[in-house]
Amino acid sequence: MMHDRFRLDGRGVAVVGAGSGIGEAVARACARQGASVACLDLDGDAAARVAGSISEWAAGGAHPAAHPLAVDIVDGAATRRALDEARQRLGRLDAVVCTPSINVRKPILSYMDEELDRVVRVNVHGNFHVLQAAGRLLTAQRSGSIVLFSSIRSQVVEPGQAVYAATKAAIVQMVRTAAAEFAPLGVRVNAVGPGVVETPLTAPIKANAEWYDAYARKNALQRWATPDEMAWPTVFLLSDAASYITGTCLFVDGGWLAVDGRFVPPGMGS
């Protein structure tokens, strides 16, 4: 029987941000595809909850258990230790996914220095720490895959999104550079660029019906995504099915970028 190149059987995957939202969905999807999963999160209790539910689902079957770890990716040394421990607990480490980011929605003229520092620390420093720590481990073994999370905001912006958008563009450039540096050592590096996804980060938007509906109308599919719809493209990038893909950002945006800024003249709508 031909090997299913979309499967992750026998592999160890560390998912940073696995305590909720997209990260949780990615951790569950990797487990469903046969991977052993380390669930890492700033909230150790949330990581333990997700890992426990994956292990409970896997109990008695052929699927491996999951392992929880607490980590603050703003701390580079702690990030290195956490990924080292993830590899030890899993017995091997073949892939690392990093999903966390934060956003402070404010006009440029209203931004405070501490807000700027906070967003950049998590979104740029934090993601760089994961990329660097994962890169050291995977390039040393000359195999593996890394996926970071960017956004449509790396390409298009709106008022109040200057800093967040800049950090998401930075992630794309970090991924491209790492892909160039790590490829000779057998490691692929890519990004996923979500559109609007229902997660804890976007909960304030969902609470405002007018805002929520306006965002839904901005993409071609006319709706928000679920975290699962970000998870499966991530699994694809980790799998052998994506063996010739590195240095790219896979936009999973419901067609947002294809129709961004669209204007439908009167009488031209469907």
Neighbours of 85 (CB within 10 A): 16
Neighbours of 57 (CB within 10 A): 15
Looking at residue 234, its amino acid is T
Greatest alpha-carbon pair distance for the chain in Å reads: 62
Angle between helix axes 162-182 and 113-120 (nearest 10 degrees) is 30
Continuous H helices in the chain:
21-32, 44-58, 76-90, 113-120, 127-141, 162-182, 203-206, 209-217, 228-238, 256-259
Sign for the pseudo-dihedral over CA of 77, 79, 84, 85: positive
3-state secondary structure labels for all residues of 3-46: CCCCCCCCCEEEEECCCCHHHHHHHHHHHHCCCEEEEEECCHHH
Q: Out of 164, 212, 215, 244, which one is annotated catalytic?
A: 164
Neighbours of 173 (CB within 10 A): 12
Measured CA to CA in angstroms, residue 259 lies from 28, 137, 155, 219, 262 at distances of 31, 40, 13, 6, 5
Neighbours of 133 (CB within 10 A): 26
Active site residue 244: no
Which residues are the active-site residues? 164
